[in-house]
Every structure is written in structure tokens, then in C-alpha cells.
Structure 1
């Protein structure tokens, strides 16, 4: 853990610029003091406990974004005192236990009229954009402290910051990824679809699997639709399915083939044609369906329906 202590405005300007991104201190009282305790979780991914005594205004100016560009989002979890994040035309007052996301690639202002205590998570753009597709729309909006997802995130970040010195590098990296997952889940409450985004990689994978099962007959179901429906990138969806030994496209096709097998062996659906079953499940080409089915079950759809199960 890297601990930086500042006694005065000039020292604090240097501390916050070294801890986060290049910043200016627009205002601070003469007796200002600050402390930043930072842990590196992954390259570019850090968690920092920040405590200040005295009012201050921190700015990332347009000049700094041009001369010192940074590819990062910053999330401030506000634990004590008064504060607000201003980015673009939005101003997000931060209540105790709430917070706000802001983009280091664009100008912003942090206003702290009192002593403050915060936990700050800095995340590379790529990591958050893989998990939530509308991050830019959320910047500068207050994350409500009372929302269950925010409460879970707050507890996790406080504990992660507190125990980070007791973790080895691999553990910090793994828990850092979990922190970004939880942040994305909480931020989806602002994007309007938080109720569909459970925390954690396995929960998100389970939600996507369930969605596939519920929409097998929709011909528009593709990996792109699946990822967009769950507010993540196609790349991140691919990573989640890869951990389960498959891919989004392969999983969709596999589940459609399973549904076709059930239909073909169901006496109550014996009146349906093979082509009709295939078409209903998104297979528009009979030959493609037959080949895929035979590779999966070692019999053609016709052989299965007629009871001829000898190997091909």
C-alpha cells in the first residue's frame, strides 16, 4: 500500500495528481490536510482511501485532458462529509454511502465544502466498458446510497481497501475484477436495467444462460443481442462463456439443438414437420440443421424420429 500525506494545498495537489490523474487544486483552506492510502489491484486498477480536513475544490481542466490524457473512469464512494461531482452539465451531490462515476478523459470538478472520507476506485476504460455499454451516459450522475447494489458495492470497497495489504498480488487482482463487476452492477441502476444484472461473473453468466433458454425461438437471438440485453460488450460475454468452456454462439446453437431433440422425441409433437421444428428454433436451412444435429447426436433428425439410431 502506498500512503501519501499532505500538509497544505500545494502538497495535496501533488498527492492527488500522483495518486489518480493530473489535477489542479482550484481552492483549499490554509489549514488543509489530506491522506491517500492506495493499493494497486491490477495495472491501471486501484483502490484508494482518501481523507481530508478542510474544504477544497479539485479540477481536471480541459487543458489537462489534452496535455495529460488518461484512459480511466473514476468512481468515488462518499463515506463522510459533503461533496459533489460536476462533469459536463451534470452535478451529482454525493450522500453518505452513495457515489458518482466520472471520466478522466473529460473535464470535471470535485467540490468538497467540508472534511471528507472517500473510497476511490480507478478503472481503465476498457474494463468497465466490457461490463456496461452505456458508461458515458452515467458519468456525473449520483448513485443512490439506498439501492441494494450500491450497499453491496460500498461494503466490498471498504473491506477491500482495509485488507488489501494482507492480500498477495493474485488475490488483489482477482478481487479487483470482482470490484469492477460490482461497480458495473450498481451503475446499471442508473442505466435503467439494474434489476437484470446480478453481481459477479457467475451470476451474470447464469442470467445470460437463462435468457437464451427463454428466447430460443427468437430468430433475432445472437451473441450481439445477448450481450446488449445484459449491458455488456460482446467481448466480455465471450470471456464469461469461455470460462464455461464454450462461446455465446456455440451455447445458443447447442441449446437450440437440445430443444429440437426434445421436440423430435415428444409424441405430442409428432404432427410437426422436421423443417417446421428447425425453423421455429432459428435454423433457416434444413441441410445446416441436419448436419449440426448429426454432429451433436450421431443420428439425423429423421433417424431419431423414425427410431433408426444406427450410427452415421
Structure 2
């Protein structure tokens, strides 16, 4: 997408809706004007350079969420200006070199009190969840400029936005996965530091979930082996996962399918056959894998890979 420019409230509302998700304006300075320049990073992400001149309030209202839902997360890296992001009970002032993560499936507000520039990385929520990020605790919170992981992420995003026009589609897609990896690392580091150390049942459940993610390629991974590994009964394992709204078998299957989806949409792994992807993610045969994948995503693994190749 090229540069889109707006000089009126109606034009700006349309530009930001087309560039991100459906949005509306709460207010805007009379002399306001702005521009966006979006670069596709394959099927996994979009990086957008947003420059605005004059105060404004951007709203993702409850009505818009209900009418036009989205499962995307947006991370705004703030380069210049003053303002704040609000979502739910959380809020953070923009800080130069820092940023904030917000969730398009829930209402939010973006306040800009001055001219501003931001780089916005938009990714499907599952892309962060698949990387073990504690996204639910991060929405509306600031990722401070001084944190080492945020500094690395910020430097990468700045360089990427400056060079996107020189890259091929495959190169942008590959670097897009790296951007998501860096964002996930920053979220884990910042949110983990502020959330305290889980204990008791929560700690045991977290340990089991981590173990599943690290051993999902093992076809012998089952609720029974999980119970044996953590020296508790199968019934207790079931109770722990039930408290998180799922079952151990469903969690294992979902993690395997998410990992498979990531591989199938990753251009770096386009040489892997569907059977090889199934085996790598712990499925013992391709037929079982394909049936489970279709139930989860509504398309076959081959269709997902083909669509991803065309988008890249």
C-alpha cells in the first residue's frame, strides 16, 4: 500500500479504518492532517508508519467491535509527540521509544495531544499466544523505552520500516516473523516482571502448559504422560485444565495445531511436506492431522500453505 493522506475528519476516519480496523474519531483539531504508509509483512503482520499533525482522539468503540470484530493485536511504537492509550482498566502515557499493546477485539482509545509519529505492528493474536506471550496481561500497558527487549524491538521496527521498499515479498514475510518474535519477547519480559511469580495450582498449570509447548512433537505426549511427569493424578490434571476452560487433551491438540499453522504459513519452511509438518507437531498420521486441522481452521493444511504463498 502506498502513502495515504487525509486532511479532514471523514478522510482520516476512512484512512485509519482501511489501514487497521474499523475506527471512529472522538475529536480532532481543526487544522489536523495526517498520513499512513503500510507495508505487508506476508500473511503474519503489517507494519504501518503513521504521522499526524494536530490533536486527535481515535476510538475503537464497543459498537464497532460488535459490528466488525477483529482478532488482531496492535503494538504502537511511539517515536514522537504526547498522548496515551486506554483499554479496559489499563492505560499508559506514550513515551518516546516505548510503546503499548492493545487488542482490537475490545474497545480502546488512542489520545494524541500533539503532532505525533508512530510505527504500528499489527498481528493476529494467535501469533503472540503461540510464542508463549502473556498477552492478556499486556493490553493497555506500556512497554517502557528503557527496557532492553523494547529497545531491540524498537530499533528493529525503525530499520524495517525504512527498508521495506527494498525487500522482496519473501524477505518481508521472513522479517515479519522476526518482528513478531521480538514483540513476543518484549511482552513476556515486561508483563512477566510485573505479574509476580505464580504459585500453587496456577504454577503447576503454567508448568504443564510450558511442558506441552516444549514437547508437543513427541507423539507419546498425553494427559497420562503429563500427569506422570508432574507426579499427580490424571484426574487432578483434568481439574487444573478445566479451571482454564479446556481439557489437557484439547490443550495438547490445540498447541500442536497452532504450531503446524505457524510452520505452514512460514515462508522459511515452505519446503516441508504436509506429512513432515504433521510429524513434527506430534501427529502420527497425515489423515488424523488433516481432519483436526480442518476442524480448527476451516481449511486443509495444503490450502493454508497455498494461500500464504500467494499473499507473500
What is the TM-score when the length of structure 1 is the normalising length? 0.65
Q: Which has the higher contact order (CA 8 A, sep 6+)?
A: 2
Distance in 2, matches of 1:238 and 1:8, equals 45
Number of residue pairs the alignment of both structures matches: 227
Give 1:53's aligned residue.
Answer: 53
Deviation of the 1:248 alpha carbon: 7.9
- Does 1:220 pair with 2:230? yes
Deviation of the 1:133 alpha carbon: 4.4
Distance in 2, matches of 1:97 and 1:185, equals 16
Pairwise mapping of residues 183-262 of structure 1 onto structure 2 (< 5 A)? 183-192=183-192, 219-220=229-230, 247=280
Distance in 1, matches of 2:5 and 2:132, equals 35
Distance in 2, matches of 1:69 and 1:237, equals 24
Distance in 1, matches of 2:76 and 2:86, equals 12
Deviation of the 1:127 alpha carbon: 1.2
Give 2:130's aligned residue.
Answer: 130
Distance in 1, matches of 2:62 and 2:49, equals 26
Cα pair 1:241 1:247 within 8 Å, conserved = no
Deviation of the 1:156 alpha carbon: 0.5
Give 1:22's aligned residue.
Answer: 22
Distance in 2, matches of 1:165 and 1:172, equals 9
Pairwise mapping of residues 3-152 of structure 1 onto structure 2 (< 5 A)? 3-43=3-43, 45-152=45-152
> Which ranges in structure 2 are unaligned for 5 or more consecutive residues?
195-213, 216-227, 232-247, 284-312
Pairwise mapping of residues 258-277 of structure 1 onto structure 2 (< 5 A)? none
Distance in 1, matches of 2:117 and 2:31, equals 17
Distance 1:17 1:240, change over 3 A: closer
Distance in 2, matches of 1:220 and 1:249, equals 20
Cα pair 1:35 1:52 within 8 Å, conserved = yes
Q: Secondary structure at the match of 2:30?
A: coil
Distance in 2, matches of 1:241 and 1:17, equals 30
Give 1:260's aligned residue.
Answer: none
Q: Secondary structure at the match of 2:146?
A: coil
Cα pair 1:24 1:59 within 8 Å, conserved = yes
Distance in 1, matches of 2:259 and 2:49, equals 31
Distance in 2, matches of 1:132 and 1:192, equals 11
Cα pair 2:133 2:185 within 8 Å, conserved = no
Deviation of the 1:190 alpha carbon: 2.6
Distance in 1, matches of 2:186 and 2:4, equals 29
Cα pair 2:39 2:48 within 8 Å, conserved = yes
Cα pair 1:131 1:236 within 8 Å, conserved = no
Give 2:288's aligned residue.
Answer: none
Q: Secondary structure at the match of 2:229?
A: coil
Greater Rg over alpha carbons, structure: 1
Distance in 2, matches of 1:249 and 1:126, equals 19
Distance in 2, matches of 1:121 and 1:74, equals 6
Cα pair 1:85 1:140 within 8 Å, conserved = yes
Q: Secondary structure at the match of 1:106?
A: coil
What is the TM-score when the length of structure 2 is the normalising length? 0.65
Structure 1 runs (4+) greater than 3 angstroms displaced: 233-250
> Which ranges in structure 1 are unaligned for 5 or more consecutive residues?
195-207, 210-217, 251-312
Distance 1:52 1:45, change over 3 A: same
Cα pair 1:98 1:150 within 8 Å, conserved = yes
